[in-house]
Amino acid sequence: MTIITTVEDLRVLAQKRVPRMFYDYADAGSWTESTYRANVDDFQTIKFRQRVAVNLENRTLKSTMVGQEVAMPVALAPTGLTGMQHADGEILAAKAAEKFGVPFTLSTMSICSIEDIAANTSKPFWFQLYVMKDREFINRLIDRAKAARCSALVLTLDLQVLGQRHKDLRNGLSAPPKLTIANMIDMATKPRWVLGMLGTRRRSFGNIVGHASSVSDMSSLSAWTSQQFDLSLSWKDVEWIKQRWGGKLIIKGIMDAEDARLAVESGADALIVSNHGGRQLDGAQSSIGALPAIVDAVGQQIEIHMDGGVRSGQDVIKALALGAKGVYIGRPFLYGLGAMGEQGVSKCLDIIRNELDLTMAFCGLRDVTKVDKNILLPGSFK
């Protein structure tokens, strides 16, 4: 039996259990993957100040994100095709997040639908929206998210055009996968995954099928994306969406202080410093590298979250120390899901909680909401 003690262990197991096409989809970055690597690497240069002989009793990781209580300030990031990492993947991840007490964010490009998540959970989840040209489709999606009692809308602004991931093109990524000889040989070595998929009817884009029936594989998705994702998107649209939604609004994909100011002006409740996990603009700065300047520019006016490259509780606390109120994990929970379904997502959250709690203690703190730059070694961060 494999003993799992790190997010990396979950990644290794997921690689064994998930068909290559979908494992590669989760694990890859765009073009040379330099931003994807920088997201992870740049956390390593930041160093802690170790403190000793401080009372460490009664520690707490409880915090809030957009005013909502969280068991720790870590949310599950929106990820497309999550139901292809494991059958009914979005439902399983949402259940694990609900049990743990952290937000789950459902992607527009999910396999399970908004209604599927609502039917299988009892607490509100968050919904991530991509802006498409078909405004009636957007209106309906917003209405469906409201009807499902979603408690925040995460509006992603960094995907008007699609960054190229070479592996996805080579693998012929599609949902459901095409039964080519290469795919069948690969799937023969992943029997758990195949059995799971045979046991579910959810194998395509749950929020889109029936609304955009032409989308079935990666090339038709690309075609639909270039046709539907709105090249003319502007901050005016953000204001319109905020008004239409009427609830908590989180803007995702901010990497620049000037855009952060515009996000504040748009009336958003929070922004996420994010480069889409290194999947869009290759050559962009890492998210943790971009965070301090954005905190300096607008940290007094808006709640700041971040994602990209978080692989441990140590990374979470570094982001908090640099001014993030909350952090999202994408690939870490996908690895957990691919490795062990719902149990794997719970395992991933447990690992991160344990690392976060102990690291906070080593830095001499008992309350995660009190984390600030003082826990970091001067000179090891910007």
Active site amino acids: 276
CB of 36 to ligand FMN, least distance (A): 8
Q: Among 259, 298, 276, 24, which Cα is nearest to 130's?
A: 276
Q: Which amino acid is at 325?
A: K
Cα 149 versus chain centre, distance: 20
Please state whether beta strands 68-70 and 74-76 pair in parallel, antiparallel, or not at all (unpaired): unpaired
Least distance in angstroms from the C-beta of 274 to ligand FMN:
5
CA distance 14 to 18: 6
Closer by beta carbon to ligand FMN, 252 or else 347: 252
Q: Which is nearer to ligand FMN, 17 or 279 (CB)?
A: 279
CA dihedral 211, 96, 305, 221 (to 10 degrees): -30
Least distance from ligand FMN to the Cβ atom of residue 334, Å:
6
Residue in the shown chain whose Cβ atom is closest to ligand FMN: 330
Q: Tell me whether residue 145 or residue 365 sits nearer to ligand FMN (CB atom).
A: 145
Instruction: Output 97 or 329, the one with its CB closest to ligand FMN.
Output: 329
Rounded CA separation 226/162 (Å): 8
Residues that bind ligand FMN (CB under 6 A): 25-26, 39, 77-80, 107, 109, 128, 156, 252, 274, 276-277, 279, 307-310, 329-331
**Cβ proximity to ligand FMN, 107 vs 174, nearer residue:** 107
Q: Minimum CB separation from ligand FMN for residue 136, in Å?
A: 21
Residue 129 φ then ψ, to 5°: -115, 135
**CA 82 – CA 292 distance, rounded (Å):** 31
CB of 54 to ligand FMN, least distance (A): 31
Write down the H helix ranges in the chain: 7-17, 20-27, 34-44, 89-100, 114-120, 135-147, 166-171, 181-188, 191-198, 218-228, 235-245, 257-265, 287-298, 313-321, 331-362
Q: Where are the alpha helices (DSSP H) in 70-134?
A: 89-100, 114-120
